[in-house]
Structure 1
Amino acid sequence: MTGKHPVKFDKYFNVVAGELRDSKTKSHGIDPSTKSELWPVPVATDKDVEDAVAAANKAFVTWSETPFEERLKMIKEYQSAYELYLDEFTNVLMKEAGKPRVTASGESEDALNQFEHNLKLKLPEEVLHEPDRIITTRHVPLGVVAAICPWNFPIVLSLGKILPAILAGCCIIIKPSPFTPYTALKLAEIAQQIFPPGVVQALGGDDALGPTLVAHPKIQKVTFTGSTATGKRIFAASAPTMKRVVLELGGNDATIIFPDVNVGEVASQVALGALFHTGQVCVAVKRIYVHEDIYDQFLEAIVQAVAKMSMDGDEVEAPWTLGPIQNRMQYEKLRGLLKEIEAKGLKLALGSGTVEESEGYFIKPVVVDNPPEDSRIVTEEQFGPILPILKWKNVEDVITRANNTKMGLAACVWSADTAAAEKVGRKLQAGSVFINATALTTPKAMLSGHKESGLGGEWGSTGLLSYCNVQVMHEFKLV
């Protein structure tokens, strides 16, 4: 372990075998609020990759045998070290992710919940006493993990992989998104003050880095959060080496509104659930099905709620402050979707199909009034501030419509009759169902997807087990 020293947030390095490494080739994140380049980030070389994998495998020999309670103690030290830099993480997150301060500080502080959750976990052990033997079932660490992390919540979703991996006794190599590399690299740098070299490492890189890690024969697991299309490629590329894979992928998350709700209150909450972080959330509200008896009233109420949202940085009403789209690729995708909405003559209750040019990747919210069920805004995950509102009349029909997607990440049901809402929720094909709330996830509950929204899961009391193999020992007495 290195000696403790202040971590500075003005230079960024790869972290390999306990060392901070630079490289000749650099990349730059872009501040989506201004389109300006941020700090240079070293692009990992082939040697960096091989050194990191070798260091992780070497560290695994002793780290996997470090007592569980000792690992817990070091994670607690890691939490204390992280807390010293909450302001710095918030400031960097504002730049790399384009988050308003209230949203950025919310994420940097929410990361503490990841620590608190993991510090309470245990690895289960089962012992059965049979007439001829004792059968002990244990969970043993997998080995070296590659964590491919997304750009929308780079702190929380990176720690959501780092902490259970090292708690289980694995060693981890973090590969942050090239759009948001900065906070994840600093998480790894801070970890060097606590953990032995090779336990926590990080490599920034280009599009070739992810496939290199996935294909590497001395990496035993890949955990990925991101798009379904990329998840499928990772799944296929992991097959030759039989890697364990956990995939948390996209969602086209339906919300069903019953006619007995308080329209104004629910419309306000649904608007926040749809547009938090400008809609760039995998479990955000994506399709809103409203009963025909209250449709017009609800549409008016949600338009009023969305119209209150501000992109001017005024945080007097902090939850209503929106930021830019995080990167040009997603920005152009949304612009194309808006052009198609306009070309097909879909009715807009708020906004327009035209995106005004600005200094950043800003798109004002758009509400689409009852589009056809086969339109792209209904069938595809928008991952941005474009909301389709649709009518329903029959309960079984709306359940069928909500399930008519290849995805199945999250869903919400709103009704004053919670028993009726729960009955509907049980029929929805989604990994997480929220009754009378938007998707308020927590590290205490498993996050997983049905269908093409994922494979396996993370968090909760059992997420830790995805970093383990099961070993069963049969003990007989010598005669």
Structure 2
Amino acid sequence: MSPSKVSTIKWDEFYNIINGQQRTGKDVHHGVNPSTGEKLWPVPIGNQKDVDEAVSVAQKAFESWRNVPIKERKEYLNKFKDVLLQHADDMTELLCAETGKPKQIAELETKGLVGWFSHHDTLDIPEDRVEDDEKTITTRYTPLGVVGAICPWNFPIILSIGKIIPALLTGNTIIVKPSPFTPYTTLKVVELAQEVLPAGVVQAIGGDDYLGPMFTANPGISKISFTGSIATGKKIMAACAQSLKRVTLELGGNDASVVLPDVDIKKTAPELVMGAFQNTGQVCVATKRIYIHKDIYDELLAEMVNFTKTLTVGPPSEGAFLGPIQNQMQYEKVKDYFKDTKEHNYKFAVGDSEVKPGKGFFVQPTIIDNPPDDSRIVQEEPFGPIVPTLPWTDEEDVIKRANATNTGLGACVWGKDLARAESIGKRLEAGSVFINSWEKPTPQAFFGGHKESGIGGEWGGEGLKAYCNAHVMHTYKS
């Protein structure tokens, strides 16, 4: 299979990529620079014709790609990685423009993708074998076909690469739909892929809210992998039921951190703050509720407040530690949590009680001191830099409080007594539990949620199965 080719990369021009070719569109939309509120470059809006063509091309490419030996597929992926790294600096600048991320944080995404490629390079597709006197049962895992990847705006590179790599490694082809809020880097990732991958193996179609339903309705797409909100995930699952598409949903969370009384307060306080405010709180698996034992509550909260005051907020050009909320829709949602908190007279330990208007969608990191358990700031996911702290005294009670949510994506337990911390962690209803660390998903570990935080999961060796059908062969001895 020979790679497709695109023209020289232009970092101010953006296209859909279908059959290895750059495609424009009759209609376009614009992302917005969240640091300034200004429009960014035009991006074509994909339509039904684009989706149908891309699916047809992907199905044809799948016929050949599925038969490429896994060793060669890994070679393709390594070449893809090398191409992306060659353009990492340009990609970083683009990521800063569309997300508002500080440069050093953006680089963790543009250069940190190496780890995702490197880990998958060590994996093989699982195969299970059971034998007795009568027969041998072999379970192999075969590719599904065409995957539709619907990607979010908070980590547009990593969370698209996190779907592309396992899909391709297992022999599928994939069509990527970037978020309309952050289409630029994802489209460039797929454009760069054309330099090394065969036409039709990886395609991308950007668009508006009408595009996702075109993916779920198309019978030629065998699986949808979606990262995003719970509400949208439910709609996708319902739509996929019509054709019994395979579906992986990685949705929202309301992660609890439980802090035991034996922690090193000065060491733990900054880590708790980082867990809550990383990427300006725009992380599905960020810490959303912090339960601190009453014996250390005041002292630990004071240290968290002191550290939070050191965090600078501003555009990438100013070298700030935290950037803006990525889009106006989310900015307005976050502002509503500030409004609700102020109206109920909850205590602001640090941060302003109002989001001050200005240039860009900036919000100062804010800690709410001991709001009621039934308050919105405790019960819901703000997806922004505002977090409640709550005291606890009884271990059984704090476990119940931590689990009292319809979500279960991540959770943390902090304590010097590792046996006690792990004992609590085992009882937390979440897909990923971190002991003495804020939430740090890695490509080595399966990632998925409990309850309404999702269906299935991805990453790690087990995650490859999410892109496969089990194929069981029963061989009886003659």
TM-score range normalised by the length of the shorter chain: over 0.9
Q: Could you tell me which residue of structure 2 aligns to residue 110 of structure 1?
A: 112
- Residue 35 of structure 2 contacts residue 314 of structure 2 at CA under 8 Å; is this kept in 1? no
- Percent of pairs with identical residues: 50
Note the 1:380-419 alignment, pairs <5 A.
380-419=380-419
Distance 1:308 1:314 in 2: 17
> Residue 423 in 1 paired to residue 428 in 2?
no
> Residue 364 in 1 paired to residue 369 in 2?
no
Deviation digits for residues 290-309 of structure 1 (CA, Å, limit 9, x no counterpart): 11111111111111111111
User: Match for 1:94 among 93, 96, 105?
Assistant: 96
Q: Could you tell me which residue of structure 1 aligns to residue 379 of structure 2?
A: 379
> Residue 289 in 1 paired to residue 291 in 2?
yes
Q: Could you tell me which residue of structure 1 aligns to residue 183 of structure 2?
A: 181
Note the 1:305-320 alignment, pairs <5 A.
305-312=307-314
Q: How far does residue 350 in structure 1 lie from its aligned partner after superposition?
A: 1.3
Aligned residues: 476
In structure 2, runs of 5+ residues without a counterpart are none
Q: Could you tell me which residue of structure 1 aligns to residue 211 of structure 2?
A: 209
Note the 1:249-268 alignment, pairs <5 A.
249-268=251-270
User: Match for 2:28 among 19, 26, 29?
Assistant: 26
- Residue 96 of structure 2 contacts residue 316 of structure 2 at CA under 8 Å; is this kept in 1? no
Distance 1:477 1:263 in 2: 65
Deviation digits for residues 292-346 of structure 1 (CA, Å, limit 9, x no counterpart): 1111111111111111110145999x7x711000000110001111111111111
Distance 2:340 2:427 in 1: 32
Note the 1:164-203 alignment, pairs <5 A.
164-203=166-205
- Shift in CA distance, 261/477, structure 1 to aligned 2, threshold 3 Å: closer
Q: How far does residue 473 in structure 1 lie from its aligned partner after superposition?
A: 1.7
Q: How far does residue 240 in structure 1 lie from its aligned partner after superposition?
A: 1.0
Query: One-letter code of the match for 1:459?
Result: W
Q: Could you tell me which residue of structure 1 aligns to residue 124 of structure 2?
A: 122
Deviation digits for residues 356-415 of structure 1 (CA, Å, limit 9, x no counterpart): 111100011121110000000000011111110101000000000000000000001111
> Residue 474 in 1 paired to residue 467 in 2?
no
Distance 1:313 1:215 in 2: 40
Q: How far does residue 134 in structure 1 lie from its aligned partner after superposition?
A: 3.3
Distance 2:92 2:433 in 1: 30
Q: Could you tell me which residue of structure 2 aligns to residue 221 of structure 1?
A: 223
- Shift in CA distance, 11/269, structure 1 to aligned 2, threshold 3 Å: same
> Residue 231 in 1 paired to residue 228 in 2?
no
Q: Could you tell me which residue of structure 1 aligns to residue 321 of structure 2?
A: 321
- Residue 448 of structure 1 contacts residue 456 of structure 1 at CA under 8 Å; is this kept in 2? yes
2:241 aligned counterpart, secondary structure: helix
Distance 1:147 1:38 in 2: 24
Q: Any runs of at least 4 consecutive aligned residues in structure 1 with deviations exceeding 6 A, and if so which?
A: none
- Shift in CA distance, 162/314, structure 1 to aligned 2, threshold 3 Å: closer
Q: How far does residue 349 in structure 1 lie from its aligned partner after superposition?
A: 1.0
Q: How far does residue 169 in structure 1 lie from its aligned partner after superposition?
A: 0.4
- What is the TM-score of this pair, normalised by structure 2? 0.97
Q: How far does residue 466 in structure 1 lie from its aligned partner after superposition?
A: 0.6
Distance 1:261 1:3 in 2: 55
- Residue 446 of structure 1 contacts residue 463 of structure 1 at CA under 8 Å; is this kept in 2? yes
- Residue 370 of structure 2 contacts residue 391 of structure 2 at CA under 8 Å; is this kept in 1? yes
- Residue 257 of structure 2 contacts residue 411 of structure 2 at CA under 8 Å; is this kept in 1? yes
- Residue 315 of structure 1 contacts residue 321 of structure 1 at CA under 8 Å; is this kept in 2? no
Query: One-letter code of the match for 2:200?
Result: G
Distance 2:154 2:316 in 1: 22
RMSD: 1.4
Distance 1:57 1:313 in 2: 43
1:187 aligned counterpart, secondary structure: helix
Q: Could you tell me which residue of structure 1 aligns to residue 453 of structure 2?
A: 453
Distance 2:210 2:27 in 1: 14
- Shift in CA distance, 298/477, structure 1 to aligned 2, threshold 3 Å: closer
- Residue 6 of structure 2 contacts residue 21 of structure 2 at CA under 8 Å; is this kept in 1? no
Q: How far does residue 65 in structure 1 lie from its aligned partner after superposition?
A: 1.1
Distance 1:323 1:417 in 2: 36
Q: Could you tell me which residue of structure 1 aligns to residue 39 of structure 2?
A: 37
Query: One-letter code of the match for 2:473?
Result: M
- Residue 407 of structure 1 contacts residue 453 of structure 1 at CA under 8 Å; is this kept in 2? yes
Q: Could you tell me which residue of structure 1 aligns to residue 86 of structure 2?
A: 84
- What is the TM-score of this pair, normalised by structure 1? 0.97
Q: Could you tell me which residue of structure 2 aligns to residue 278 of structure 1?
A: 280
Deviation digits for residues 255-302 of structure 1 (CA, Å, limit 9, x no counterpart): 011111111211111111111110001111110001111111111111
- Residue 324 of structure 1 contacts residue 360 of structure 1 at CA under 8 Å; is this kept in 2? yes
Q: How far does residue 4 in structure 1 lie from its aligned partner after superposition?
A: 6.9
Deviation digits for residues 431-461 of structure 1 (CA, Å, limit 9, x no counterpart): 1111111112110001110101011011011
Deviation digits for residues 233-273 of structure 1 (CA, Å, limit 9, x no counterpart): 11111101001000111110000111111112111111111
Note the 1:430-445 alignment, pairs <5 A.
430-445=430-445
2:175 aligned counterpart, secondary structure: strand
- Residue 153 of structure 2 contacts residue 181 of structure 2 at CA under 8 Å; is this kept in 1? yes
- Residue 29 of structure 1 contacts residue 39 of structure 1 at CA under 8 Å; is this kept in 2? yes
Deviation digits for residues 195-254 of structure 1 (CA, Å, limit 9, x no counterpart): 111110000001000011011111100000011111111111110100100011111000
